[in-house]
């Protein structure tokens, strides 16, 4: 026979385990890399463009093109999409909006850790486009 305390303990622990999945959901931040970099695109070198969590995000620029993005202690991958996902003006986010032209791509550096994902989106004229860009999967 089960005691009342044992049943309540089992229910409480099951609720805690079930709720932990909600806490583990990652936050996604889509940012306009062109706007963050601004006029520094014309200056070769590494430039701080943002702070992701506690790490500074640096964009490496060479000859007017972004050649890489890095953040200490965080992993970075290159992704591309035909959707415009970055902020265009303060408070206005065009997440998921389909672009009318099919040959227009946005190139992003995905900086991620277990807590959050940060995407820094650039237009094709400021990055080096090659086959190393993986498709963005929402």
The pLDDT of residue 10: 60
With CA atoms as reference, report the closest residue to 28 among 100, 93, 107, 123. 93
Cα-based angle 122, 65, 27 (whole degrees, multiple of 5): 30
Specify burial of residue 47 (Cβ count, 10 A radius: 0-12, 13-18, 19+): middle
The pLDDT of residue 90: 46
pLDDT digits (tens, 9 = 90+) for 55-78: 999 999 999 999 999 999 899 999
Owner of token pair 């890095």 = 70
More confident residue, 78 or 95: 78
Average pLDDT score, the chain: 82
End-to-end CA distance of the chain: 49
More confident residue, 72 or 9: 72
> Does position 98 have pLDDT exceeding 90, yes or no?
no
The pLDDT of residue 7: 58
């Amino acid at each position: 026979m089960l005691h009342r305390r044992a049943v309540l303990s089992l229910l409480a622990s099951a609720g805690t385990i079930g709720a932990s999945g909600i806490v583990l959901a990652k936050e996604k931040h889509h940012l306009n890399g062109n706007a963050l970099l601004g006029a520094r695109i014309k200056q070769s070198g590494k430039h701080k463009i943002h702070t992701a969590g506690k790490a500074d995000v640096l964009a490496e620029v060479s000859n007017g093109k972004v050649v890489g993005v890095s953040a200490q202690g965080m992993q970075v991958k290159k992704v591309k999409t035909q959707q415009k996902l970055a902020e265009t003006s303060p408070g206005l986010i065009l997440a998921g909006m389909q672009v009318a032209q099919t040959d227009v791509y946005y190139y992003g550096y995905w900086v991620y850790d277990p807590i959050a994902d940060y995407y820094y989106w650039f237009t094709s004229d400021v990055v080096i486009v090659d086959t190393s860009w993986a498709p963005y999967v929402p």
